[in-house]
A and B are shown apart, each in its own frame.
Chain A
């Protein structure tokens, strides 16, 4: 990913992304997106091998859901991620590894037939059909 001066095209900074291609094309062609405060969001793929980091990621799930996802004893987290960079300097910020943070686990559900404003319904297990064709 590069950041270039809009008027001159001079490259200000560049950052290497891990994934040459993401399997879901929309993820591949979407973004990057930039906030007014200067944070760049970009989709990528991450492999996390650092054990404390893996453990911290898994522990973080408990703040989202009372139930742990289905297979939560990994030593490596390898998944789609949202990464962030500072728009001015290109310095990497925090990132969000989807699978590690519970995207494949039990999550809250809004059911369009049962949910009224202010009323919650039960959590649901992960989808099993995978991505659409």
Chain B
């Protein structure tokens, strides 16, 4: 019997939805006597999280979504034995409901340009052998054998790569600074402290392709002259910790970390550093404190971390995505990378799509994609036929973009001009039933919790802004509040020390800029146009539509609904707590909000 497999079944995004899917699939493959020709690979995230578990069957490229263990026998019989596509399991296009059998034909994927995510879902993340087989350690070999550190820096500068942690500083220039500074001992660090509440790209990357991060760090260490690296991950992110730990161990066993790497005479090793998760912990100086074992609080940057970082030694910190991109640039060349993206922002950006969008997940697209393309082509549009209202980008302290800006190409500069930021690429999509005031309040509440409290402006400023926003959502705001919010926001941005305070007012300032009407409606008309803010809304039952089925009456936790069977029901507004249960359960669309 041949040792070569004719088909690989790559299983991704299993989550907790179908924990027994992989064992069931393996057992069925064995039962049908296919175990020597078909291999089941537990691959990392494919980014299509809302559809998990998903499988990709290579070489055909057949793609199945939303699988359960019960689907296994049919799937094995029809597709793996007989080579037929099971339509029932394919992806259905949300608007046309057409079945799409092949991964390459799904709009979510064929609009993407995967550089950071190039190996995600394509290799077994626990096997350095598979990483080596695809193209792993080719870039490191090239660097160690044929490039000087100056040439590496020149290549990075030419590529236009900017740090993917959020600030977007030129990676080539950062490495150059770290190389030029004098110091016997230098460090390279990978930032895996992903803090944005709706983002999961760094974790997905560490869990799906940890080796590329290590390879990038090794190239960085060779370039700046470091021999020790640290990967910092919050210990709560157990999947990332396990994956990176395993990757470091395997790389050490193969001698791809350690002394005299590939016989080049260059020594480099990496240690994992774990800490408690916090939002501010991803800030460069705070992270370095955490690596030293101190409380993760930022310090003033009178001097750069490239001069004095961890233990006051020159340190070069990059986001895990930045490290991961470096081998791709070395392999394929700076010109290739620079040909993707816009004038100032080269390459691609991984967006984490969340909120009111059909394709919740991770999508990597060229820089400069428009809001329209991201939401409607890649994201598959807004669910339930609702209307798109706004896109919030840049994590919790990013800004909102309204429908007027649908055609705006998104890169570092245009987003900053529009009052938002690229950040790490967290995107929340709002539909017409989302209240921007309430959403801004939510983000500010998060930032208030995460502020370390060192700067008065950030600690007190955010708190005061949150109080005002809360008052507005409760219908007790005044028009002067809007000016106060703007003034406070400007002060917090201007005088806070680190990136948290400098950007925290963005959600409020950008909504005031684009959605002032909605604030005014809350304050003057005492109305929440989206029907979200509980103090300003009232649920009612449409007599025409109500069939008197009694479902809402039984579900109401307050017993606020009354009515005879088969007669229209009514809601007692005094008793109602605006939980929205009746609205959710009604099958006849008879419950409304006003």
Judge: A and B partners, yes or no.
Answer: no
Residues of chain A at the chain B interface (Cβ within 8 Å): none
Residues of chain B at the chain A interface (Cβ within 8 Å): none
